[in-house]
Amino acid sequence: MRYQIVYCKRGLPLTTWANTADQARQLADQLRRVGYSVDVWQHTSDGSRKTDL
């Protein structure tokens, strides 16, 4: 399982990845603190879904 962090400021979406939910949550929180809007997607062998991290 991997986590895709999609973050955006001023309209340009960027992406980074994390290997655990804790890493994804920490990175998403850091990005939000500096003004980015953030969505986190969970990717598994069964497919992908947006999470509430």
Instruction: Give the chain's domains with CATH numbers.
Output: 2-50 (3.10.20)
> Which of the 8 DSSP states describes residue 12?
E
Q: Is 28 helix (H, G, I), strand (E, B) or coil?
A: helix
pLDDT in tens, 13-52: 999 999 999 999 999 999 999 999 999 999 999 999 999 9
Burial class of residue 7 in the structure, from the number of CB atoms within 10 Å of its CB (0-12 exposed, 13-18 middle, 19+ buried): buried
Q: Cα-atom radius of gyration of the chain, to the nearest Å?
A: 11
Judge whether 7 and 38 are in contact, CB under 8 Å: yes
Q: Decide: pTM greater than 0.95.
A: no
- Binned at pLDDT 50, 70 and 90, residue 11 comes out as confident
